[in-house]
Amino acid sequence: MLIGHLPAGYIISRLLIRYAEPTEVSAKAFILAGVIGAVAPDLDMFYFHLVDHRQHHHHTYFTHYPVVWLVLLTASSAWLFTASKKNYAACASIFSLNGFVHMILDTIVGDIWWFAPWGSEPFAFFTVPALYKPWWLNFLLHWSFAIEIAVVVWAIYLWRKARHHKITVTATNAPTVP
């Protein structure tokens, strides 16, 4: 995915915010933790470009190991269910969930090593043929980019809906001046 991770993280966080309300975490903090988690696996791009000099596929780094995100999700979920103050645990859980969803989304057209570090076999649902230069044009012109556009549109819809709801609630709760 090129542009879909951040909006997907927003969608998931926005849809799950009602479950975070009893934890007393603010909606902004919850959504921020979610969108950061959604792009966190790609922080390895700094290492990929600055240290590794693009020698290895960045999906082979530990930040793209699904087991890392499953362990984080399991640990943060256990923390959420056992903690007396749940606000930080809720943020950790949404962060981890969106990191794991990143792995699923990358698997659509990008190789993910689902059994790493124990296995060395990449898996992707579909392959994007290398027909164009630069490389990103292949992804932009592939049918799977329509999925990313749909995710972006859905995120914008949810954002506008939440923004409109907030404005409506604020407007209806405003004191009237006689």
> In the numeric block, which tokens belong to residue 174?
């405003």
Question: Which alpha helices (H) appear in 21-144, and where do they start and end?
Answer: 27-39, 44-50, 66-82, 87-109, 135-140
Residue with tokens 């057209």: 109
The verdict on pTM exceeding 0.75 is yes
Q: What is the pLDDT of residues 66-75, one digit of tens each?
A: 999 999 999 9
Torsion of CA 96, 98, 100, 102, to 10 degrees: -140
Which tens digits make up the pLDDT trace of 137-165?
999 999 999 999 999 999 999 999 998 87
